[in-house]
Chain A
Amino acid sequence: MSPVVKRKGEKFTIPSKYLLFVLTLMCTVTMLMTFSTDIFNKPLNTVVGYLIVPFQKGISSVGGWFSTRAEELKEIRALKEENEELKKQVADLLAENIELQQGKYELNQLQALYEMDEQYSGYEKTGARIIARDAGNWYHSFTIDKGSNDGIEVDMNVMADGGLVGRVYSVGPNWAKVVSIINDNTNVSGKILATGDNLIVSGDLELMQKNLISFSQLLDSDGVVTNGDKIVTSDISDKYLPGILIGYINEINIDSNKLTKSGTVTPAVDFEHLSEVLVIMQLKQTVEE
Chain B
Amino acid sequence: MKKGLIAAFFIWICFLLQSTVFQSLSFNGIVPDLMIIVTASYGFMEGEDRGIIVGLFCGLLCDIFFGEVIGFYALILMYIGYLNGKFSGGFYPDDIKLPMILIILSDFTYCVTCYVFQFMLRGKLNFPYYFSQIIIPEVIYTTVATIGLYPLILLADVGIKKKEKRGGRNFV
Judge whether A20 and B52 touch: CB under 8 Å.
Answer: yes
The residues of A that contact B115 with a CB separation of less than 8 Å are 138
Partner of A56, one of B20, B64, B66, B130: B20
Partner of B78, one of A23, A51, A141, A205: A23
Judge whether B52 and A185 touch: CB under 8 Å.
Answer: no
Shortest CB distance A152–B (Å): 16
Is the C-beta of A28 less than 8 angstroms from some C-beta in chain B? Answer: yes
Partner of A184, one of B15, B72, B119, B138: B119
Q: Which of A30-38, A93-101, A107-115, A244-252 contacts B (4 or more CB under 8 A)?
A: A30-38
Q: Which of B28-36, B91-99, B152-160 contacts A (4 or more CB under 8 A)?
A: B28-36
Which residues of chain B from 126 to 145 have a CB within 8 Å of any chain A CB?
Answer: 126, 129-130, 133-134, 137-138
Judge whether A132 and B126 touch: CB under 8 Å.
Answer: no
Is the C-beta of B109 less than 8 angstroms from some C-beta in chain A? Answer: no
Judge whether B66 and A59 touch: CB under 8 Å.
Answer: no
Give the number of chain B interface residues (Cβ < 8 Å). 49
Give the number of chain A interface residues (Cβ < 8 Å). 46
Shortest CB distance A261–B (Å): 20
Nearest B residue to A36 via CB reads B69
Judge whether B69 and A136 touch: CB under 8 Å.
Answer: no
Partner of B75, one of A28, A56, A131: A28
Is the C-beta of B7 less than 8 angstroms from some C-beta in chain A? Answer: no
Residues of B within 8 A of A (CB): 12, 15-21, 23-24, 28-31, 33, 35, 47-49, 52, 56, 61-62, 64-66, 69-72, 74-75, 78-79, 82, 85, 114-115, 118-119, 122, 124, 126, 129-130, 133-134, 137-138
Subset of 27 A-B contacts with CB under 8 Å? A13-B49, A16-B48, A24-B75, A24-B78, A24-B79, A26-B71, A27-B72, A31-B69, A31-B70, A31-B72, A44-B64, A48-B65, A52-B12, A59-B17, A63-B24, A133-B23, A135-B19, A136-B31, A136-B62, A136-B66, A137-B29, A137-B31, A138-B119, A143-B19, A143-B65, A185-B118, A209-B29
